[in-house]
Structure 1
Amino acid sequence: MPKAMKIAIVDDEQDMRQSISQWLALSGFDTETFPSAEDALKSLDAGYPGIVLSDIRMPGMDGMVFLKKLMSSDSALPVIMITGHGDVPMAVEAMRLGAFDFLEKPFNPDRMTQLAKKAADARRMTLENRALRRELGDGSTMMKKLIGASPVMTRLREDILDLGQADGHVLIDGETGTGKTLVAHALHAVGPRAGKPFIIQSCAAGDDLPARLFGPAAEGMPLPLVEQARGGTLCLEDIEALPAECQTRLLALMNDTVAGLETRIIAVSNLAQDGRTIEDCLRPDLFYRLAALRITLPPLRQRGEDILTLFTQYAEEFCDEYGCEAPQITAQEAAQLLQAPWPGNVRQLINLSERAVLQSRRGTGSIASLLMADNAEVGAEIGPAVTTEGKPLKEYVEAFERMLIDNTMRRHKGSIAAVMDELCLPRRTLNEKMAKYGLSRSNYLT
């Protein structure tokens, strides 16, 4: 159940405060009351996890001054003003100053509840967006999402840290489903622009793309994206679809000695599997400006045992979501996961993990059947012993062994004795294998 939204009720009349509080509490709100605006301001800050319902006419600081102070602290805080008969012009002025809406006395309690719920929905969305922006601006959080111990992933994280600090324009390419947008977020989060705007736009968005990107903005419409991203990062997905007109204007922006330095451009290309190159789609001068710093993401089939690590993590997340046990992977299924061509890369693996959890919950199906169904859709052939990237048998065995120990440690929450018993391993052998695979007991303790 979602947590009840807070609502601060500010009114100098005690009976009014109590009756409003009782009604809104019955409607599912977590209410708190204040006899004056001065008292309320001591508890209401920019991070207040709720909304405000305030009378306009109060002794001391009145509702209009109170509203102005709230808006200066957090312009997205929904404030519903209560006005007496004849004060409608004042309420309209309050709306101009940023009030969410107003109620005229005597008001219908159901109307008050309806407005409060609408304001709460708006506040919830604002707080969720802020939390997301904080997460996207946290470099350590973003880097943790780039899971994997394979050499190509280690190198990718190093490249992100280097190019993030370089702060120049970047071109990101790679096969579909490899996580290019995640890498764009990470580049922004680890660089000097972290905390500044990060704006994403697909260049395959339609005929209004030039106006959306560069303006002029129609009356009542949002600012052009280049203005919204000023000082931060503008991420252009599907850069190969950028119309010629926009390519010219984008290059002019990048060449502008003022505006070009204010906004970082990260271009994302999805041409890796189309038989074309990004050079074929962009004017040469724009391509070379973007590709001065370039990151090419590795396909999943080149990431070795990262495949098993990712499968295990996503399967656990889906098990939490569906309330069931994680499917147990056999050695043959682990080998099939490692041998699969993965044309859809990590995105395909996430989908397969969810389906594996669902069919395991029903007690039906197998990993092999899911892989064969996936590859049949794209015309790829795969059997129990087919591989696109030949590897020594030793690597498959070690990858499975690591996954098996990791899964068993997770299931037993770090209990060495339970893991020794289930896997029939002496303590010394288990310790040696955990050291070999970089597994630490402390990571499993809860």
Structure 2
Amino acid sequence: MAQAMKIAIVDDEKDMRQSIGQWLSLSGFETETFPGAEDALKAVGADYPGIVISDIKMPGMDGMAFLKKLMSQDSSLPVIMITGHGDVPMAVEAMRVGAFDFLEKPFNPAKMTEMVKTATQRRRIALDNRALRRELSDGSTLMKKLIGTSPVMDRLREDILDLGQSDAHVLIDGETGTGKTLVAHALHAVGAKAGRKFVLLSCAAHGEDELSRKLFGPLEDGLHALEDARGGTVVLEDIEALPEALQAKLLTWINDQGTPPETRIIAISNLQEQGKTCEDRLRPDLYYRLATMKITVPPLRSRGEDTLTLFTHFGDIFADEYGCDAPKVAAQEAAQLLQAPWPGNIRQLINVAERAVLQSRRGSGTIASLLMEGGDDVQPVMTTEGKPLKEYVEAFERMLIDNTMRRHKGSIVAVMDELCLPRRTLNEKMAKYNLQRSDYL
């Protein structure tokens, strides 16, 4: 859910800061007031979840010095300056330093509210983008996004940790929707180049001339990918779509780098043509240079009960987003989720989970109907051959205990009551399925 934005109001005049605070509170904003810049600086840091409204003329540290200090901490923090009559030149100087805007006394409260709305929207976008960049550079966070306890996912995480330590180029392949780009981000984030540039370029999204400029240059505005990511990582999605002339050019660039390469290339193959592989589309010398190391991301149908874990995970996310309860999965529906071949893999499962939440909110429909009906953005998910009954029972049992523990936030007594299980039996089943109470508190 979106983070609530705060408004820090800084003014040495008590009546002024109280009146601004009351007006903005009535307009639905969360406010906090400070009598001076020194006090405000103790609360307003580099990632302050909101904006600042400050008077320019204050005793001690004045508004201009305060603004400069805030800009040195976080240049994207919106600061609205309040000026007296005749202080417009000072306000213009504040804008040059980095102020978001200024209000001249006496100001229109409605105009102030609109200005605050615009500033908080910009701040929220900036903080969201900052959080995303941090997330994409945090190896531990990214590894947690590779959800699942199946043997194939354990091996995938081990491969990422091993290959992440190398500077050698990597080829990632696998079916559509399996999360290959996420794996590329994780490879970069757990390795020695984690703090350096990560540049993503799709070989299928541009014509040959434009792709050549974006990859090798020259560009009229900015650096081409290989220069922009110097010392870091370049990810080439849809590598099989790279034209032959550019394949030769890329091979020359790779050879000129030497060993170990200064800049790492992670190539992602999305080739879905029946009976064809990436090796068939690339010239052999380039293929073997890119596939020095290789990772194949497993399809969802090979991941066993991870399917139920993922369905629950995304169902909870969408339920929170839409403000309703996550749908309950019946035993028969769990079996169908496990049986489905999922041709669209995780991307398809996410679509089904969202539609299941929307159905549940309306109080109609079943997960089974979604698996069979398809739609504009969801292919029909027909079931494949069956599995041993024991696998279905254990997967459903684990999902049921997991969901109940989440709902009761780790309360063992509440889970025992709802599932009608004695304490010893619940403990044994949690140990069997590797469920830790601490994960739900």
Amino acid at match of 1:399: A
- 8 Å Cα contact 2:11-2:34 kept in structure 1: yes
- 8 Å Cα contact 1:134-1:195 kept in structure 2: no
Count how many residue pairs are aligned between Structure 1 and Structure 2.
438
Query: How far does the alpha carbon of each residue in 1:165-187 deviate from its partner, in whole angstroms, 9 at most, with x for none?
Result: 22433221110111112212222
Query: How far does the alpha carbon of each residue in 1:180-199 deviate from its partner, in whole angstroms, 9 at most, with x for none?
Result: 12212222222233344444
Shift of residue 366, structure 1, vs aligned partner: 3.9
In the superposition, relative to structure 1, how do residues 429 and 250 fare at CA in structure 2: closer, same or farther (>3 Å)? same
1:352-431 paired onto structure 2 within 5 Å: 352-360=352-360, 362=362, 364-374=364-374, 382=382, 386-387=384-385, 391-410=387-406, 430-431=426-427
> 3-state SS of the aligned residue for 1:7?
strand
In the superposition, relative to structure 1, how do residues 63 and 284 fare at CA in structure 2: closer, same or farther (>3 Å)? farther
Amino acid at match of 2:144: K
Paired with 2:371 and 2:165, the residues of 1 have a C-alpha distance of: 40
1:438 to 420, 434, 438: 434
> 3-state SS of the aligned residue for 1:166?
coil
Larger displacement relative to structure 2 (79-88 or 47-56)? 79-88
Paired with 2:171 and 2:132, the residues of 1 have a C-alpha distance of: 24
Shift of residue 431, structure 1, vs aligned partner: 4.6
Partner of 1:323: 324
> 3-state SS of the aligned residue for 1:265?
strand
Paired with 1:64 and 1:263, the residues of 2 have a C-alpha distance of: 43
Paired with 1:409 and 1:60, the residues of 2 have a C-alpha distance of: 54
Shift of residue 343, structure 1, vs aligned partner: 0.5
Partner of 2:187: 187
Percent of aligned pairs with the same residue?
A: 72
Paired with 2:190 and 2:128, the residues of 1 have a C-alpha distance of: 22
In the superposition, relative to structure 1, how do residues 392 and 58 fare at CA in structure 2: closer, same or farther (>3 Å)? closer
Partner of 1:113: 113
Q: In structure 2, list runs of 5 or more residues that go unmatched.
A: none
- What RMSD in Å do the two structures reach over aligned CA positions? 3.9
Paired with 1:362 and 1:311, the residues of 2 have a C-alpha distance of: 19
Paired with 1:72 and 1:379, the residues of 2 have a C-alpha distance of: 51
In the superposition, relative to structure 1, how do residues 88 and 252 fare at CA in structure 2: closer, same or farther (>3 Å)? farther
Partner of 1:69: 69
Paired with 1:333 and 1:4, the residues of 2 have a C-alpha distance of: 37
Amino acid at match of 1:304: G
Larger displacement relative to structure 2 (158-167 or 345-354)? 345-354
Paired with 2:81 and 2:407, the residues of 1 have a C-alpha distance of: 53
Shift of residue 22, structure 1, vs aligned partner: 4.4
1:30-429 paired onto structure 2 within 5 Å: 30-34=30-34, 36-56=36-56, 61-83=61-83, 88=88, 90-104=90-104, 107-207=107-207, 208-213=210-215, 215-218=217-220, 224-226=224-226, 229-243=229-243, 247=247, 250-251=250-251, 254-255=254-255, 257=257, 261=261, 263-273=263-273, 275-320=275-320, 321-324=322-325, 326-330=327-331, 332-360=332-360, 362=362, 364-374=364-374, 382=382, 386-387=384-385, 391-410=387-406
Shift of residue 227, structure 1, vs aligned partner: 5.4
